[in-house]
Amino acid sequence: MSVNEQTGRVVPFPARASAAVADEDTASIIAVLQDQLTLAREGKLRSVAVVSVSADGEAIGTQWSCKGADITGLIGKLTVLTHDMMAARK
C-alpha cells in the first residue's frame, strides 16, 4: 500500500500501471511468470525454481522457493540448467 500525496488516501501497489511490453522476449518472460503465479494462487505448486539471465548475458542467478524435501532436487536441476546456459553463451 502507498499513500497518494495529492489526496492523502491509501492506494494499493502498483499505484500506476507499467508501460506496455514492446519486446517479444520480455513478453514471453512475463507470460511464463504469470502462468506460474496462476498455478501458485490455485495451490497447484509446491516448489518453484528459476534461473535468471541478465539482459547483457553476463549474470546468471538462481532462486527457489520450496518445501524442504524438494531443495536437493531443485538445486541439482538449477545447477545443470545454469551450466547448460553458460556453455550455450560461449
Q: What pLDDT does residue 8 have?
A: 66
Q: What are phi and psi of 7, to 5 degrees?
A: -100, -20
Task: Report the SS3 class of residue 23.
Answer: coil
Mean pLDDT of the 58-73 span: 84
Residue 54 phi/psi, 5° resolution?
A: -65, 160
Number of structural domains (the chain) is 2
Whether 49 contacts 74, CB under 8 Å: yes
* CA-closest candidate to residue 66, choices 44, 45, 51: 45
Q: Do residues 54 and 86 share a domain?
A: yes
Q: Which domain holds residue 38?
A: 17-45
User: For residue 40, is it within any domain?
Assistant: yes
Say what the pLDDT of residue 41 is.
93
- How far, rounded to the nearest angstrom, does the alpha carbon of residue 48 sit from its chain's CA centroid? 10
User: Is the pTM here over 0.85, yes or no?
Assistant: no
- Using one digit for the tens of pLDDT, what is the confidence trace for 5-20? 667 676 665 555 566 6
| DSSP bridge pairs for 87 | none
